[in-house]
């Protein structure tokens, strides 16, 4: 694997994609796999319908996985041919589809049905830090939603942890750019691509953002925060 692509693969790994999903070596074909959802496709309704979840998971996320594996296959082939131009051209596809795989893998676990704790407010140090930094959870959500609603075109809103400063921040990124490319640890990601909400909310992204907090899995977000602080 050429050295300039190794960081991208490391970012895939950092994005909580289990290492066992990457076979590595000279033939990485099918190395990444679509993870199962930790709940039924319809379990987040009516906040997010089963129709959206099934399409989003089984079609959109699957496409990122399929295209990532195809790009890695082409990369391996170009590497063996010594085709530097092709290697450079493929890095965009690896970043886009690898980011899509990482981001969605995080997103699914950041959500939970109400019956499994979705929407329950965070506790412990993360709750204290949010209150201290943003004034209250409601203020944090208002600020997060304003920034995520303002993403032009497709992208993501994130609650991020910056290890070097021990700080929380709200960050938006376009397309499928993974947060790890900024040196930040993703705690909570909200997908604001239209495919995440259009069937339920049409063009009203703010309505989707207002509703989604009913199914945010703060327990998972807190676990990510606790793990990030220990590193």
Nearest approach, Cβ of 103 to Fe ion (angstroms)? 7
Beta bridge partners of 159: 170, 188
104 is in an annotated binding site: yes
The answer to whether the beta carbons of residues 68 and 99 sit under 8 Å apart is no
Which of 122, 189 has the CB closer to Fe ion? 189
What values do phi and psi take at 115, rounded to 5?
A: -70, -15
Nearest approach, Cβ of 185 to Fe ion (angstroms)? 20
What 3-state DSSP class applies to 169? strand
Which of 144, 193 has the CB closer to Fe ion? 193
Q: Which of 192, 203, 199, 202 is nearest to 145 (CA)?
A: 192
Nearest approach, Cβ of 95 to Fe ion (angstroms)? 16
Nearest approach, Cβ of 16 to Fe ion (angstroms)? 16
Which of 75, 107 has the CB closer to Fe ion? 107
Which of 170, 196 has the CB closer to Fe ion? 196
Nearest approach, Cβ of 156 to Fe ion (angstroms)? 8
- Report d(CA 44, CA 112) in Å as an integer: 7
In this structure, the strands spanning 167-174 and 155-162 are antiparallel
195 is in an annotated binding site: yes
133 is in an annotated binding site: no
Which of 52, 168 has the CB closer to Fe ion? 52
- The binding site for Fe ion (CB under 5 A) comprises 191, 193, 196
- Report d(CA 190, CA 173) in Å as an integer: 11
- Report d(CA 194, CA 181) in Å as an integer: 23
- Report d(CA 222, CA 70) in Å as an integer: 34
Residue nearest to Fe ion (CB): 191
Q: Which residues define the annotated binding site?
A: 56, 104, 191, 195
Annotated binding site for Mn(2+): 56, 104, 191, 195
């Amino acid at each position: 694997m050429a050295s300039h692509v190794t960081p991208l693969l490391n970012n895939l790994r950092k994005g909580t994609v289990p290492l066992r999903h990457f076979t590595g070596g000279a033939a990485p074909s099918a190395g990444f796999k679509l993870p199962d959802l930790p709940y039924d496709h319809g379990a987040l309704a009516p906040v997010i319908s089963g129709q959206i979840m099934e399409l989003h998971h089984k079609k959109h996320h699957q496409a990122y996985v399929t295209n990532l594996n195809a790009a890695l296959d082409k990369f391996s082939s170009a590497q063996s041919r010594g085709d530097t131009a092709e290697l450079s051209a493929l890095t965009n596809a690896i970043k886009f589809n690898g980011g899509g795989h990482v981001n969605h893998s995080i997103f699914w676990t950041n959500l939970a049905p109400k019956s499994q704790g979705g929407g329950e407010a965070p506790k412990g140090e993360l709750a204290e830090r949010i209150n201290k930094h943003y004034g209250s959870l409601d203020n944090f959500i208002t600020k997060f939603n304003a920034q995520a609603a303002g993403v032009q075109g497709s992208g993501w809103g994130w609650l991020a942890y910056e290890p070097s400063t021990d700080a929380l921040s709200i960050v938006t990124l376009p397309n499928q750019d993974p947060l790890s490319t900024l040196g930040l640890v993703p705690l909570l990601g909200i997908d604001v691509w239209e495919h995440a909400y259009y069937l339920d909310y049409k063009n009203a992204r703010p309505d989707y953002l207002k509703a989604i907090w009913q199914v945010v899995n703060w327990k998972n977000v807190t676990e990510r925060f606790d793990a990030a602080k220990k590193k």
